[in-house]
Structure 1
């Protein structure tokens, strides 16, 4: 069976976007699973003991914590040493008070923790959870789009192409909204934390790798959706255009 590249191009873009979105969802759920592809990293004051954590990388469904250290003696570059990650939660929202109930808040008078930052995270908890919901909806929609595309290639029925296009639209819309929310958190929320943490040695930094993956997924889905639209509503109807019936006079002639 000869397969036209144009007919499977949306599936190729959707499959790559599917992998990228899964990486965005599951990054940081284990110590060695893309813990550097975080939504943002919160840096806290250094404690008096060797076990105190001084950075927390926040992901979509979990967070990781660890300590900072230099790469080599005599160098100024800093390496992040992840010690552990939290359990994966479907509707996750990072709560700094739960993350370090003993290390920072009750560690001593020299580690004054600005409570306003905890309030900031609580205020953005609904936003974080809604972002996760859109990612999950997007993953499901992309998966159904891939199944529909495979069925469309095999059966060559227009109905399956319509299903494919519908799921592609839903997936592109969901991932686009999730990416917008992630960008708002990365820039606006991080700037808010830095403003409130000024003077307390508390700062935040957004994750460039995460934003790159989520917007790459969004771009691929948008391109795939446009291509799918052309396949279904332009090429599809051109290929299925019925022939003009032959008149009786022509048949008799």
Structure 2
């Protein structure tokens, strides 16, 4: 059981690391978590003939898509709308989604312009104002993911060093402490876990604001033009799960440090008695 307790922070950080990677690289390809977008912008017919029906906006890229009406039940002629992504942009840490440029690129005229009658400039202005906020969120996701990997390495290194320097088991009743898998964490480990928690927490808060308040702003600005936006729970689920896991790991490390220091301050007479190991004949 002590071995399992020692590797619990490693397992939690591994999951947080993988979730951070998925948050950063979602939408970089059509098949890579297309549902884990920050928001989806529906053009509502704006942008002119041939313009995409929607854009899925991710942390470092966006994807272009069209909607197709399909018959889901031939007996009742029930129909459903199918979303089909046709392409995604390149990844960039300094990514800023510009819907006007995205529409022009989809139409094959990147050097052209859209008139105010074709596309509302207020929507483009809103996304340009969002650019610095999105970049800040990406940077914190990178810090959180990187420090989660460092936390894994620091914990493994601490356990390996303690095992290498521990004394072999005694068969003569020697009461000196022996290595068990319950290796006390260091303050450096705690600091790394804390930085990862802080980074994931800030990034998740920013993502929550974008998917709630910014989506409301887009719906208000585009109400008269048929432009709307929706959000997805998949991205927020991954982001907050990573933050919660690092929070649990950080609290676990802190409790382990406090418990170990309290045990070190106990007089020898109050320490649990260790039974001598008996050798085999």
**With structure 1 as the length reference, what TM-score do the two structures score?**
0.86
Match of 1:175 in 2: 200
CA contact (8 A) 2:48 2:118 kept: no
| Gaps in structure 2 of 5+ consecutive residues | 164-182, 270-281
Partner of 1:34: 33
Matches within 5 A, 1:8-23: 8-23=7-22
- What do residues 208-235 of structure 1 show as CA deviations (whole Å, max 9, x unaligned)? 111111111111111111011112232x
Distance 1:239 1:79 in 2: 61
Structure 1 residues 240, 195: CA separation in 2 closer, same or farther (over 3 Å shift)?
Answer: same
- Which residue of 2 is the match for residue 237 of structure 1? 261
Q: Provide, for residues 143-201 of structure 1, a one-character-per-residue CA deviation record: whole Å limited to 9, x for no partner.
A: 11000011122123979632221111000100100000000000000000000000211
Is 1:92 aligned to residue 92 of structure 2?
no
Q: CA contact under 8 A between 1:65 and 1:85: conserved in structure 2?
A: yes
SS of equivalent residue, structure 2 residue 104: coil
In the alignment, is residue 72 of structure 1 matched against residue 71 of structure 2?
yes
**Over alpha carbons, which structure has the higher Rg?**
2
- Count of residue correspondences: 241
- The CA RMSD over aligned residues, in Å, is 2.5
Alpha carbons of structure 1 residues 160 and 227: separation in structure 2 relative to 1, 3 Å: closer
Runs of 4+ in structure 1 off by over 4 angstroms are 102-109, 157-160, 238-245
Q: How many angstroms does 1:61 deviate by?
A: 0.8
Measured in 1, the distance between the counterparts of 2:115 and 2:210 equals 30
Give the equivalent residue in structure 1 for 2:227.
Answer: 202
Contact map agreement 1:3 1:153 (CA 8 A) in 2 = no
SS at 1:204's partner residue? Answer: strand
Find the aligned partners of 1:28 and 1:239 in 2 and give their Cα distance: 49
The CA deviation string for residues 113-172 of structure 1, in whole angstroms up to 9 with x for no partner, is 111111111111110100001001111111110000111221239796322211110001
- 1:100-123 C-alpha deviation (Å, 9 max, x unpaired): 2364986788x6311111111111
